[in-house]
A and B are shown apart, each in its own frame.
Chain A
Amino acid sequence: GQNIDQPTEMTATEGAIVQINCTYQTSGFNGLFWYQQHAGEAPTFLSYNVLDGLEEKGRFSSFLSRSKGYSYLLLKELQMKDSASYLCAVLDSNYQLIWGAGTKLIIKP
């Protein structure tokens, strides 16, 4: 079966750095997405990785290792508005998105 694992919840301090991990086992791989979802709102796109390595976009970076079935999202200089759920999703061999359950990130002052 297809499976994506993320921690359920993480807590971090404003101004700090946090890393959210995602491991996956899917039928094929055509890329990995990270989305942000504030409570009660729609998911919004953060990043896409299809090749191994680090993609940096402002305060957010995403890393992929296809051989290990592993990705992480790195958030720097945390702000209170970063409190949200972060969803990892893999595009499988049929180009369907398989979603993780999401990691709820709580930012404390």
Chain B
Amino acid sequence: DADVTQTPRNRITKTGKRIMLECSQTKGHDRMYWYRQDPGLGLRLIYYSFDVKDINKGEISDGYSVSRQAQAKFSLSLESAIPNQTALYFCATSDRAGDYNEQFFGPGTRLTVL
């Protein structure tokens, strides 16, 4: 079984709709991250969470919100989707800073906003 899972894997939606992407992990990591990836651009951080009570904005948080329901679950919401939010979204986890901080990625969610 995968350590980091994302649902759905693919989603097509319309402009203005509310969308939730879910991430679950069994690695026991405290830190979780949401990224988006666009062709020709690097991974860009949307939000990150160092524990259940800690949520932080990343580089491109506008238009997104998150919820850390438990150590193992971190959800990303698009309140009112727009076409330029079409991208590949990755969830990632890591153990703690000060150490390796290697990030482990989920399989990704391909989101298309029409």
Contact = CB atoms under 8 A, between A and B. Distances in A.
Interface stretch (B14-22, B39-47, B65-73): B39-47
Given A42-B90, A48-B100, A99 B43 contact: yes
B105 interface: yes
Contacts of A97: 43, 45, 101, 103
B102 to A, nearest CB: 5
B42 A31 contact: no
The contact size tier of chain A is 20 to 34
The contact size tier of chain B is 20 to 34
Interface in A63-109: 87, 89, 91, 95-102
Contacts of A30: 101
A99 B90 contact: no
Interface in A26-76: 30-31, 33, 40-45, 48
B92 to A, nearest CB: 8
B97 A43 contact: no
A102 B42 contact: yes
A105 B71 CA distance: 37
Contacts of A8: 40
A101 B100 contact: no
Given A96-B45, A99-B42, A101-B42, A33 B102 contact: yes
